[in-house]
Amino acid sequence: MIFKSETGRQRIHQAYRKLMEHWPVPYERIELPEASVVASGPSGAPPLILLHGSGGTSVGWASEVAALAEHYRVYAVDLPGEPGLSPELRHDLGSDGHARWLDGVLEGLGLTRASLIGESLGGFVALDYALRRPAKVEHLVLLNPGGLGRMRPSFALKALALAPLGRWGLKRSLRVALGSVDQDAADFILLIFTHFRPRRDPLPTLPLTDRPMLVVLGGRDAMIDADRTRKIVEERAPSATVRWLPESGHLLRGQSEAILTWMAAGGQVR
């Protein structure tokens, strides 16, 4: 069970739905067998799929969706096995489980091809899908992605040290992990990690090919070795564009303009 209790699951989902009342653009929720999806933007616009990180939900894209939805039909998808409204089944990270899952999402949405933006675990899922299904991916954007640079062991040690300190420890861990977040987001994340069991299995290392992609990295990322990730991308994927944000942490916001500019310039998966 991914939630610590049924009451905890209900509290998280109630808070999630409450936050969605402030989604900045009109939306519809699409319930597929594979996933719960928040769809915004013109129905005839090019499709863009957003994949959040571990312990997250689609509501985390609220600060980006308005700009993206001016140009794309945006589908913010709750990942399976995470605290959102999608099924609780967790796929083996070393298998093609997430690729098959995303096949089902695209089919359910009536799509044969889409652009992908993924952050952290969602970046791992997006890159894995682009490697396995290149013909189905138009543009690929990765925000502090997992599966390339190593996780920082120092963060795990800090989190373990702060865990016994209750809510104060959780708040401190949150600041260490993500950097600055607004109060509503902080409260929701704290609620999640009070009642939710995050994945503990390590992310496999993914290969890279010489394909166009936008990789955005925060130099102060406490969870992923962003400097090593940058070097890996620059060495192994020379067609990739790396956007380096030296003062940003793991949670990257305000990137929609840079993303739209890059996609408009024609960066595509080959």
269 within domain boundaries: no
Average pLDDT, the chain: 89
Residues 6+ apart with CB under 8 A from 16: 57, 59, 83, 84, 85, 188
126 within domain boundaries: yes
In 105-193 the beta strands, taken as DSSP E runs, fall at 114-119, 137-143
Average pLDDT over residues 236-245: 94
pLDDT computed for residue 160 by the predictor: 38
CATH number at residue 43: 3.40.50.1820
Average pLDDT over residues 18-35: 97
Amino acid at 222: A
Q: How many distinct structural domains can be found in the chain?
A: 1
Average pLDDT over residues 99-117: 98
- Domain of residue 63 covers 6-264
Which tokens hold the place of 167? Answer: 């809510």
Average pLDDT over residues 186-211: 88
pLDDT tens readout for residues 45-87: 999 999 999 999 999 999 999 999 999 999 999 999 999 999 9
1 within domain boundaries: no
Q: What's the count of helices (H) and strands (E) in the chain, helices before strands?
A: 9, 8
Instruction: Give the global pTM.
Output: 0.90
- Residue 218 in contact with residue 252, Cβ under 8 Å? yes
